[in-house]
Structure formats: C-alpha cells, structure tokens
Structure 1
Amino acid sequence: MVIRMRHTRSHTKNRRSHHALKAVPLSVCSNCGAHHRPHHMCLDCGFYNGRQVMDLSTEKAKREARMQAKREMIKGEGSIPQPEKNEVSEPVAEDTTKTETKAKKTTKKKPAKKVE
C-alpha cells in the first residue's frame, strides 16, 4: 500500500510530543537520608522499608578484594619479560619438510544423451 496523504509537520510534532522523557520521582531513605528510586533499596546503605536487606559494606569489601587481585595479576603479567620480535630465530632447513603429492587426474563428465 502507498501512503496517500502527507503527514504535515504539525501532526508529526503532535505525535512526537508524547515521546519526551519524564523525570523519575525519588524517595528519601529513612536510614541515611539519601535519595533512591521508589520501591527499591537504598544503594548507599542497603536498607529498604526500614530494614536492612543487603549488607553493602561486605559487598564493597568483596568487590575491592576482587579488583585488587585483578590489578595484581595485571601488574604480574607486565613484569614477565617478553621475547623481542626483532630477534632472528634459527632457520629451518627447507628440503627436510617438503612432501610433494601429485593431483589425481579426473575425467570430464560426458553430457547426457537426449532421449527423443
């Protein structure tokens, strides 16, 4: 099907007027006073609805330990001496590894006979 009438600028803009992003309302944490999304736990202290749901101090300690181990591993990789690419390796004898194989000859297919 073909569109028969043009969409004018005003109608296009009227349609797009509902595409704007709306601001998310924030709630205040009853424990620490920080702002968080409604019906979600506080990301600063781990409290939701007046009780502690997640112990963020241990989670942050675990994450820090994991990141520290990762940093140490990356440092350790950098201290290993890598062989330089400019060094010339020993030449390999050319005739010792050559093996020659001959290709098999194939016959051409004959065209099929026409049946009249």
Structure 2
Amino acid sequence: MGVPKRQTSKARIRSRKSALARKTQIFHAIPCPQCGQPRLPHRACPSCGYYRGRQVLIIKSKEEKKAEG
C-alpha cells in the first residue's frame, strides 16, 4: 500500500475541503419553460417531466400515487 512521502499540510487539506464545500453550494436553477418551476440545467424538470420541449418522464400526482398503493 502506498504511503505519502510528505505530510499533507493543514492549508492544503483546508483548501481542498473548502473547494468541495463551494462546489456543493452552487445551485444554478433555471425556470422550466413548460411549468416555470426551478430545475437544474441539462436535466428533465422534476415537476412536469419535460426536457427540451418533449415529455421524457411520466410524473404522477399525489392522488394517483395514493390510489395505487
């Protein structure tokens, strides 16, 4: 098993952790052109199921979910 040649400094560790924290905080939500709800870019809308003008997901309402089971 490999062993680090030098001890990782506190600055290097904290810099890496802060970069990861900043990456997870970024949330660029854009409005869906179909329903107006926020969604992530390059992904289907979780509320209506549309992506690039076509329906790619079948979204069931709460009443339909309760009826099924």
TM-score bin (small chain):
0.5 to 0.7
Quick one: which amino acid aligns to residue 64 of structure 1? Answer: K
Quick one: which amino acid aligns to residue 30 of structure 2? Answer: S
Where structure 1 has 5 or more consecutive residues not aligned to the other structure, the ranges are 68-116
Quick one: which amino acid aligns to residue 39 of structure 2? Answer: H
Quick one: which amino acid aligns to residue 47 of structure 1? Answer: Y
Q: Which string of whole-angstrom CA distances, capped at 9 and with x for unpartnered residues, describes residues 60-105 of structure 1?
A: 31x22123xxxxxxxxxxxxxxxxxxxxxxxxxxxxxxxxxxxxxx
Aligned to 1:66: 68
Residues 26 and 8 from structure 1, CA distance in 2 versus in 1: closer, same or farther, beyond 3 angstroms? Answer: same
Where structure 2 has 5 or more consecutive residues not aligned to the other structure, the ranges are none
Q: Hey, what's the Cα distance between the residues in 1 that align with 2:32 and 2:14?
A: 39
Identity of aligned residues (%): 28
Q: Hey, what's the Cα distance between the residues in 2 that align with 1:44 and 1:22?
A: 22
Q: CA deviation at 1:50?
A: 1.6
Q: Hey, what's the Cα distance between the residues in 2 that align with 1:52 and 1:2?
A: 51
Residues 16 and 50 from structure 1, CA distance in 2 versus in 1: closer, same or farther, beyond 3 angstroms? Answer: same
Structure with the bigger percentage of strand: 2
Structure with the larger RCO, 1 or 2 (CA within 8 Å, 6+ apart): 2
Q: Hey, what's the Cα distance between the residues in 1 that align with 2:4 and 2:57?
A: 56
Which of 42, 45, 53 pairs up with 2:56?
53
State how many pairs are aligned. 64
- Cα root mean square deviation, aligned: 2.7
For normalisation by structure 2, the TM-score amounts to 0.58
Work out which of the two has the higher radius of gyration on C-alpha atoms and give 1 or 2: 1
Q: Hey, what's the Cα distance between the residues in 2 that align with 1:2 and 1:32?
A: 54
